[in-house]
Amino acid sequence: MIENDLLLRALRGESVERPPVWMMRQAGRYLPDFMKLKEKYDFFTRCRTPELATEITVMPIRQVGPDAAILFSDILVVPQAMGIHIEMQPGKGPVVPQPINTPEKVEQVIVPDVQEELDYVYQAIKFTKQELNGEVPLIGFAGSPWTILCYLVQGHGSKTFDKAKKFCFMEPIAAHRLLQKITDTTIAYLKEKVKAGVDAVQLFDSWGGLLEPKDYQEFSWKYMQQIINALKNEVPVIAYGKGCWFALKQMSQSGAAALGVDWTCEARNARYLSGGNITLQGNFDPARLYSKPIEIRHMVHQMINEFGKDRYIANLGHGILPDIPVDNARAFVDAVKEYRS
């Protein structure tokens, strides 16, 4: 029994007294206590140590007060489990020293036993559920196959992921082979997360908006749809595609419980494009958290008025930025909590 089940009710499309609120990347880098742990432990050590992942996951619940926790982890633990070496380098972010950029390298990528390779994630879920003790729901997540492919082929972060796109267009058979391997691993991974106790899952397609609509269908959405089909009867699925407003209609017919929206798509357009009958999540510009708390409060209330309090989850349009003051993050959450229509 979950004491605060606002998120789950919104995902079911029920009428609520106010929208639930949480923030993408809320468990992490803007919190001073997180930075203390960062100084002691490297990134993937934090991900792979269940006790640390639990502490970081619960931290914003105690300090900022959102209506849901999201497990501290990373989308790249999936390709790591697939036998791919990935480093998190200071100032650079994720780096794949040997990119998966030929058909031969794709064939070497394995579909792993996720129970064995990712057990530390499931242990973190169990520890976190014990720590939360029914206070709020716990969200698990995974990256979309396309977004993961971008890092694996490009070898590092990019504004354009031109090498990843080039690979898809020049070696489409190998690209689809890699995407399917990622998809199969992700489905198994998320199913185990559900068994471990997560109450909802979110798929992050951070780089879907870099593809034109036809290529998005070909190289991203059809793999997202496979994952949603595999999970939708077991757990509510939130599908988030940054810059993917053009796909909202199809996404709304996918069986996902909710769709994430970034800040470049107005609420009325998001409602129109998605058909008006599905829960939407978003879409506060993360940079707007630099505004004064009183301004944040006003903008949050305006955002809720535009989306409507029902079939809506208040969130940012992407992850929280690392130098946002904790008081401003708290102002965002508090503004939603005090909202009354």
Predicted confidence pLDDT, tens digits, the chain (341 residues): 899 999 999 999 999 999 999 999 999 889 999 999 999 999 999 999 999 999 999 999 999 999 999 999 999 999 999 999 999 998 889 999 999 999 999 999 999 999 999 999 999 999 999 999 999 999 999 999 999 999 999 999 999 999 999 999 999 999 999 999 999 999 999 999 999 999 999 999 999 999 999 999 999 999 999 999 999 999 999 999 999 999 999 999 999 999 999 999 999 999 999 999 999 999 999 999 999 999 999 999 999 999 999 999 999 999 999 999 999 999 999 999 999 87
Q: Which residues contact 251 (CB under 8 A, 6 or more apart)?
A: 221, 239, 241, 244, 259, 274
Q: Residue 41's pLDDT is what? A: 95
Tell me how far apart the alpha carbons of residues 248 and 18 are, in angstroms, rounded to a whole number: 24
CB 258 within 8 A of CB 281: yes
Q: Residue 341's pLDDT is what? A: 77
Q: Residue 119's pLDDT is what? A: 98
74 has binding-site annotation:
yes
Question: Which amino acid is it at 37?
Answer: L
177 has binding-site annotation:
no
69 has binding-site annotation:
no
Give residue limits of the domains in the chain: 6-337
Q: What angle do CA 137, 143, 149 make, to 5 degrees?
A: 175
Tell me how far apart the alpha carbons of residues 250 and 221 are, in angstroms, rounded to a whole number: 9
* CA 228 to mean position of chain CA atoms: 14
CB 53 within 8 A of CB 71: yes
* CA 147 to mean position of chain CA atoms: 11
The CATH number of the structural domain formed by 6-337 is: 3.20.20.210
Q: Residue 92's pLDDT is what? A: 87
Instruction: Tell me the CA end-to-end span of the chain in Å, nearest whole number.
Output: 28
Q: What is the DSSP string of 64-128?
A: T--S-EE----TTHHHHHTT---EEETTTEEE-SS---SHHHHHH-----HHHHTHHHHHHHHHH
217 has binding-site annotation:
no
The CA–CA distances, whole Å, from 109 to 80, 84, 254, 278 equal: 10, 7, 29, 37
Structure tokens at 62: 């105690």
Q: Residue 280's pLDDT is what? A: 98
Structure tokens at 87: 């480093």
318 has binding-site annotation:
yes
25 has binding-site annotation:
yes
Q: Residue 91's pLDDT is what? A: 83
CB 149 within 8 A of CB 210: no
The per-residue b/e assignment along 226-265, b for 16 or more CB within 10 angstroms, e otherwise, is bbbebbeeebbbbbbbbbbbbbbebbbebebbbbbbbbeb
29 has binding-site annotation:
yes
Residue 242 backbone dihedrals phi, psi, to 5 degrees: -70, 125
